[in-house]
Amino acid sequence: MNACNSSKSNSSKIIKSQQKLAYSDSSTSDSQKKGIDFIAYGDNPVSWKLEMDFDQSFEFTAKDNEKVSAKPVPPIKNTGIETYHAVSGKQQMDIYLFEEKCELNNNKNNFNKKVEIKIGQKIYKGCGSFLYNNKLNDFWILDFINNEQQFALNYPNGIPSLIFNLTKNKLHGFNGCGTFDCNIEVRGNRIQCYPFSSLNISCKENTAAIIMNDYINGQLVDYYFSDNKLVLYLNNDTRLIFRKIN
């Protein structure tokens, strides 16, 4: 995969795509900076807001004076729905995220989840989305595995690389041996990578290929940016550090 050449011809498309992905709502942008992973709004039966930080807390406020602050809990996943049963003291808040595109009046954001929240006998309905850093939507080549720098001369078939397409929730990669594709969902500072649809795993001596195949394929991966580089922090404590190639 000649990612370096393709990145030059597609750099303008990436910039436009990043602009499209950037949130126009300043309050949503502020929530993203605070580390919020998922945000939802609604006006049924009253105006309300939900912020979910999977490391800190779930915070719900509504105009009817309902307010819940609960510790984060893992989801229960079923086809088309994700459920969170959060508890605050003796109060339970049930959060349901449906795989449905959703629109709210007077809101410029595009939401990809329909949201329902049950607190006692009350049910609140609205829309929400996972937040993300739109800089992820780019072409990246492997620079370091932990503290060991990676050089193109050590990869006769080409240095490993990743291409994120967040408008389509797709990842296209090259592991140093062959290409792979997978669906992804960016969930705050984590990337859910679904199983690779195609994969070449013939080169068993390639450390990068082994790591990608074992710890990106079908895994939930933490990501962050440091000095304009993309860092993937994997379940085995390995850090894959990528630099932009455009």
Q: Output the pLDDT for position 1.
A: 44
Phi and psi, residue 228, nearest 5°:
65, 15
User: Per CATH, which fold does 24-130 belong to?
Assistant: Lipocalin (2.40.128)
Q: Is 230 helix (H, G, I), strand (E, B) or coil?
A: strand
Burial letters for 7-17: b for 16+ Cβ neighbours within 10 Å, e otherwise? Answer: beebeeebeeb
Contacts of 33 (CB under 8 A, 6+ apart): none
Q: What letter represents residue 112's amino acid?
A: N
Cβ–Cβ under 8 Å, residues 139 and 245: yes
Rounded distance, CA 49 to CA 222, Å?
Answer: 26
pLDDT tens digits for 48-85? 999 999 999 999 999 999 999 999 999 999 999 999 99
Question: Distance (Å, rounded) from C-alpha 26 to C-alpha 39?
Answer: 13
**Parallel, antiparallel, or unpaired for β 91-98 and 81-88?**
antiparallel
Q: Which of these, 117, 44, 42, lies nearest to 84 by C-alpha position?
A: 117
Domain spans, the chain: 3-18+133-244, 24-130
Q: Which CATH architecture has domain 3-18+133-244?
A: Beta Barrel (2.40)
Which residue ranges in the chain fall short of pLDDT 50? 1-9, 24, 26-27
Cα gap 138→21, rounded to integer Å: 12
Rounded to a whole number of angstroms, the distance between the first and last alpha carbons of the chain is: 15
Around Cβ 108, how many Cβ atoms within 10 Å? 9
Quick check: pTM over 0.95? Answer: no
pLDDT of res. 4: 40
